[in-house]
Amino acid sequence: MKFLLYSLNYSPELTGIGKYNGELAPSLSSRGVETNVLTAPPYYPDWNISKGFKNRWSTVQCDSVTVFRCPLFVPSKLTTVKRLLHLSSFAITSALRLLSLIRLKPDVLFLVQPTLFCAPFALLYCKLTGAKSVMHIQDFEVDAMFGLGMGGSGRLSRVANAAERWLLKRFDVVSSISYSMLDNAVAKGVSHDKLIFFPNWSDTGFVTPDVDGSELRTLWGYTPDDKVVLYSGNIGQKQGLDIVLDAAESFKHRPEVKFLIIGNGSYSETLQGLARERGLSNVSFKPLQAWEDVPNILAMADVHLVVQKRGAADAVLPSKLTNILSAGGNAVVTAESNTELGKIAEKYPGIYTCVEPENLSAFIAGLESCFDMTTDQPNIIARNYAVENLNKDKVIDRFIQDLKAHGCANL
């Protein structure tokens, strides 16, 4: 009954993979699973080591979980080369730490991708300890890098894809957060009988449509007649948030339409600079807010944005959407119709408005469609989907049962 979670990101990171890992480990521990975590110091999404942490090896006990942290290179400005150095630095330092953790002899090693760089060391560790190897794919980092044009093409792409396929096929279990991503794993050579669907979740008891966001709305300077369009999450290259500025420019003649971007990330300063240069007084920025404020923030917005570039929707699935659905929000989601997000929109009409990525006219039409919806009532289709499919306890309990069915009988 021992579980080793191996990932770049962990609590107290407030967003992305770190948030989910930070909820998973204590949840497993509360279910009687001895849980350890091998991770880096928190740095995301600011790309700076968080206050109160040092970029060095450390061991702490938190929420009945032992957390082993390893130093890594954290670039202040991201480039493809610096990103690769960042990922490989953690792979090296964590591999050294793995040597000292052989004594743990876990029943399951749960490696979260990114980063694939850690996969060879994870597989070797499992060979030495007899642990079951589980690769959990939050992002297909090879697909994301080349799909977004960050890694070039040709020979490098072929080598990276071949290495990815070779590694994936050697894990005992491969899990991911969407069915489309599992299909992608099969296309990369993973056997169907190794797959587990393990979606990101929402705390549906905490993030609900029953919250009144009017007080926060007033505090932040919005009137009851304003149409507040909210993007909250990481501000990075893969999001393609320039389209939000383009839309804001198109709505300059509509003073009631206000855009609010909440978050941190490698592209944040650039995006704020572009908004200033373009004189977009209808766009406001705020840093990432505390988790306890999330229900009020979601409740105060009229329209939510889930924005990604073309080619990213099945390589990465935006975790921010789970809480938007749980809050019963109306959202504009940029995704091609053949992706997981597109298929969900088709299967559950009204759950959100799905529009073509990087298409400004479609994006604006999606916003207009949401403006026409009543905002004094929650989106019941979205809320019901979250309760049925994204409830945290249900998702984690089902995952444990699926692991047992795949031979992890000691859990």
Band (360; pLDDT cuts 50, 70, 90)? very high
Alpha carbons 323 and 308: distance in angstroms, whole number: 17
8-state DSSP, 68? E
Same domain? For 122 and 102 the reply is yes
Give the model confidence (pLDDT) of 241-251 as tens digits.
999 999 999 99
Q: How many domains does the chain have?
A: 2
Q: The CATH number of the domain where 347 resides is what?
A: 3.40.50.2000
How many residues comprise the chain? 411
For residue 284, the one-letter residue type is S
- pLDDT tens for 141-165 read 888 777 655 555 578 888 989 999 9
**Given a cut of 70, is residue 409 above it in pLDDT?**
no
Q: Domain check: are 188 and 243 in the same one? A: no
- The one-letter amino acid at 81: V
This model's pTM is above 0.75: yes
| pLDDT at 42 > cutoff 80 | yes
- Give the list of residues 6+ apart from residue 186 with CB closer than 8 angstroms, or none: 192, 195
Residues 195 and 249 placed together within one structural domain of the fold: no
Q: What is the pLDDT of residues 279-314, one digit of tens each?
A: 999 999 999 999 999 999 999 999 999 998 887 666
Using DSSP, state whether 220 is helix, strand or coil: coil
pLDDT of residue 144: 78
What integer is the mean pLDDT of 58-75? 96
Residue range of the domain that includes 43: 2-201+391-405
In this prediction, residue 1 carries a pLDDT of 78
Distance between CA atoms of residues 15 and 335, nearest Å: 21
**Is 410 within a domain?**
no
Q: Is 116 within 8 Å of 142 (Cβ atoms)?
A: yes
Mean per-residue pLDDT, 120-140: 97
Per the CB < 8 A criterion, the answer to whether 139 and 113 are in contact is yes
Evaluate if residue 16 carries a pLDDT over 60. Answer: yes
Helix 119-129 / helix 80-100 crossing angle, nearest 10 deg:
10
Please check whether residues 244 and 383 belong to one and the same domain: yes
Give a yes or no: residue 61 inside a domain: yes
Strand 65-69 to 58-62 pairing: antiparallel
Q: How far is CA 258 from CA 254, 322, 364, in A?
A: 9, 23, 13
pLDDT of residue 363: 98
Rounded CA-CA distance 411/401 in Å is 9
Of 209, 225, 208, whose CA–CA distance to 217 is shortest?
225
